[in-house]
Amino acid sequence: MIFDTHAHYTSRRFDSHRDNVLNALPAQGVVGVVECGIDLDTSRAALALSRTRPWIFAAAGIHPESLIDEDASTVRTFGGDWRAEMVQIEPLYEDPRVVAVGECGLDHHWPVPTDAQLALFEAELQTARTHELPILIHDREAHAETYALLKKYRPKGILHAFSGSAEDALWIARQGMFLGFGGALTFKNARRAVEAVRALSLENIVLETDCPYMAPEPLRGRECHSGMIQYTAAKVAEIKSVPVEEVLRVTEQNARALFGGQGI
């Protein structure tokens, strides 16, 4: 059964057909989805969406890109004052359907000011600790800084869309974190991700989409949804020479164990 640990169904890209996409998922084997907020507005929307179906759960947080995204409430409503936005997000963590802090992390691909994103990420690590919640981490071209903060805070959670080396993957697993793999694992140039999956035990891996983006091969470039995780799971099964059913069973168990304290 498919547990998608990282989705963005509140994206405007789904506005014309969101219900159709979501209603089709259970028949494709989808039994769990964590819908990730990237600012106050989408965190509230994620919680609202999680109330529409028992198998959808929410994560609330501020994504580093939201610091410079004109469309994000971080800029639009708060003028970049992420501390004020965090105050508004804070009550959401009291809701049992909010099972994680995130999506948050560090991004050096886009020109996000370094000091601001580091301060924001540390505040969210502290929030995860305070509320004893897992954290969903985005690390794009910021491995060293991310790993230093993992060492400092020792959070539970997922390093999503993992793009580091096999050695890094093993170290992160030893810290008690899960590594999240999505459609990019199936791409032709995914040599590092394949090596990471090969090195890791299935017990340290969870599956994800990051939908509407990152559809796996053979559907690369299309609008992605959680049902497509079957292709990512098949790739993991091929790398590890185990049946795809085992990959889906163990990764679902991993997700439930991680979020389980929150009643999943």
Binding site for Zn ion (CB under 5 A): 103, 210
Least distance (Å) from Zn ion to the CB of residue 75? Answer: 18
Q: Which is nearer to Zn ion, 35 or 210 (CB)?
A: 210
Supply the minimum distance, in Å, between the C-beta of residue 6 and Zn ion: 6
In the complex with Zn ion, the residue whose CB is nearer, 210 or 239, is 210
Query: What 3 state SS string does the chain have?
Result: CEEEEEECCCCHHHCCCHHHHHHHCHHHCEEEEEEECCCHHHHHHHHHHHCCCCCEEEEECCCHHHHCCCCCHHHHCCCCCHHHHHHHHHHHHHCCCEEEEEEEEEECCCCCCHHHHHHHHHHHHHHHHHHCCCEEEEEECCHHHHHHHHHHHCCCEEEECCCCCHHHHHHHHHCCCEEEECHHHHCCCCHHHHHHHHHCCHHHEEECCCECCCCCCCCCCCCCCHHHHHHHHHHHHHHHCCCHHHHHHHHHHHHHHHHHHHCC
Nearer to Zn ion, 6 or 97 (CB): 6
Rounded to a whole number of angstroms, the minimum distance from the CB of residue 243 to Zn ion is 29
Q: How far is the CB of 238 from Zn ion (least distance, A)?
A: 25
In angstroms, what is the minimal distance from the CB of 36 to Zn ion?
5
CB nearer Zn ion, residue 76 or residue 140:
140
Instruction: Give 4 or 210: the residue with its C-beta nearer to Zn ion.
Output: 210
CB of 235 to Zn ion, least distance (A): 20
| Angle in degrees, CA 138, 139, 143, rounded to 5 | 160
- By beta-carbon proximity to Zn ion, the closer residue of 25 and 239 is 25
